[in-house]
């Protein structure tokens, strides 16, 4: 007793299991709905019955039927359980998810934002965070989910997105400024402008295993673009870099070039509660566009 009120120790999973058994008409179907196994559902319902001190379900070999006590409880839960679920989800919905990127946002980003906001209701929304090294920003806690191009290691959970083609950034004026397409083999041995944070191509990725000399390195996108414009070499980048323009740089499609891996990453420890939901939205929107 606590001030005349009986305190019953009941877990939310037990209430969910009981409601699912009633709604689905059996323990096996309830387990499928809850994405668990049937013995767990049975134990949860038995624990609930022990906690409330009453039998809630009549079990036979063919069907499950509510007792009077079970009927009264289920009638209350039909109203209370959705409200409780919504109340528990509210703090996560109200907190903004910070999305880190370097070169570009994923394709169809406005559709991603609309889908995420629509699914989350009163969401705190998404804030984009551009960093030259999104993985470092993720490790420093400056963003919650990041678009990266290499395996981040065992401390992160990743979701694969469709890879992106590469383009060459060539100076204008220059010998390739009027080319519409370049073959990957034409870049073997050429001078390169390398973005040290974004370029992850090894020697084996180049035709004949011959990579051009890195005449100039840049630590961010702006330096990389200006170095190409200054004719220090040819830049290689994901196709979406085309959004970043310079009057002295032209982007040329690359044929037979290895594609750029696209990964969404979030930390395994203390992740943002809505990070996985946002990653799922990005995946669904991109899958629908292919």
Q: Strand locations in 118-259, DSSP E?
A: 126-130, 145-148, 156-164, 166-171, 181-183, 192-195, 214-218, 234-238, 249-255
Task: Indicate whether 161 belongs to any domain.
Answer: no
d(CA 242, CA 41): 53
Q: Examine the domain organization and report whether 253 and 276 are in the same domain.
A: no
The answer to whether the beta carbons of residues 132 and 196 sit under 8 Å apart is no
Are residues 147 and 280 both part of a single domain? Answer: yes
- Pairing between strand 249-255 and 181-183? parallel
- What's the order of all strands across the beta sheet hosting 97-101? 126-130, 97-101, 145-148, 260-267, 156-164
Close Cβ partners of 87 (under 8 Å, ≥ 6 residues apart): none
Instruction: Tell me which of 89, 120, 137 is where a domain ends.
Output: 89
Residue 219 lies in a domain: yes
Please check whether residues 130 and 183 belong to one and the same domain.
no
Let me know whether 130 and 192 are in one domain. Answer: no
Q: Are residues 140 and 274 in the same domain?
A: yes
Nearest CA among 135, 139, 170 for reference residue 149: 135
Contacts of residue 194, defined as CB under 8 A and 6 or more positions apart, other chains included, come to 214, 216, 217, 218
For residue 23, give the CATH number of its domain: 1.10.10.10
Per-residue pLDDT in tens (0 to 9) along the chain, 290 residues: 455 545 578 888 999 999 999 988 889 888 888 888 999 999 999 999 999 999 999 987 677 889 999 999 999 988 888 778 767 765 655 578 999 998 778 878 888 988 888 665 545 689 999 888 898 889 888 899 999 988 899 999 999 999 888 899 999 999 999 999 999 889 887 888 877 666 566 666 666 566 666 666 777 788 889 999 999 989 988 888 888 889 999 999 999 988 888 899 999 988 898 899 999 999 998 888 76
Secondary structure letter of residue 282 according to DSSP? H
The CATH number for 249's domain is: 3.40.190.10
Which of 41, 74, 89 is where one domain is finished?
A: 89
φ, ψ for residue 101 (rounded to 5)? -155, 165
Contact (CB, 8 A) for 82 and 88: no
Based on the domain organization, do 181 and 203 belong to the same domain? Answer: yes
- Whether residues 81 and 16 share a domain: the answer is yes
Whether 225 and 284 map to the same domain: the answer is no
Same domain, 135 and 269: yes
Secondary structure letter of residue 187 according to DSSP: G
pTM listed for this prediction: 0.60
In a shared domain, residues 201 and 143: no
Q: Domain ends where: 73, 89, 105?
A: 89
Question: Does residue 237 sit within a domain?
Answer: yes
Residues 148 and 265 in one domain: yes
Residues 247 and 267 both lie in one domain = no
**Structural domain boundaries enclosing 119:** 96-153+261-288
Q: What does the pLDDT read at residue 188? A: 81
């Amino acid at each position: 007793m606590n001030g005349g009120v009986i305190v019953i120790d009941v877990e939310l999973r037990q209430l969910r299991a009981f409601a699912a058994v009633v709604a689905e008409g059996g323990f096996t179907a309830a387990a499928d709905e809850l994405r668990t196994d049937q013995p767990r559902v049975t134990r949860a319902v038995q624990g609930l019955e022990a906690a409330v001190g009453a039998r809630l379900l009549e079990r036979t070999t063919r069907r499950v039927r509510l007792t009077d006590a079970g009927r009264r409880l289920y009638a209350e839960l039909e109203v209370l359980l959705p409200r409780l679920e919504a109340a528990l989800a509210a703090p996560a919905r109200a907190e903004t998810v910070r999305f880190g990127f370097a070169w570009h946002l994923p394709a169809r980003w406005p559709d991603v934002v609309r889908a995420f906001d629509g699914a989350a209701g009163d969401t705190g929304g998404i804030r984009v965070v551009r960093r030259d090294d999104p993985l470092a920003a993720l490790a420093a806690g400056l963003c919650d989910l990041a678009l990266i191009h290499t395996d981040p290691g065992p401390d992160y959970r990743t979701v694969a997105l469709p890879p992106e083609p590469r383009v060459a950034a060539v100076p204008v004026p220059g010998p390739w400024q009027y080319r519409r397409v370049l073959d990957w083999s034409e870049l073997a041995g050429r001078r390169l402008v390398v973005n040290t944070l974004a370029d992850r191509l090894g020697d084996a990725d180049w035709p004949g295993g011959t990579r051009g000399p890195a005449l100039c390195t840049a630590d961010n996108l702006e330096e990389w673009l200006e170095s190409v414009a200054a004719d220090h070499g040819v830049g290689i980048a994901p196709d979406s870099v085309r959004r970043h323009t310079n009057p002295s740089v032209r982007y040329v499609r690359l044929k037979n070039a290895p594609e750029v891996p696209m990964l969404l990453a979030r930390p395994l420890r203390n992740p943002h509660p809505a990070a996985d939901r946002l990653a799922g939205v990005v995946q669904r929107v991109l899958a629908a566009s292919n």
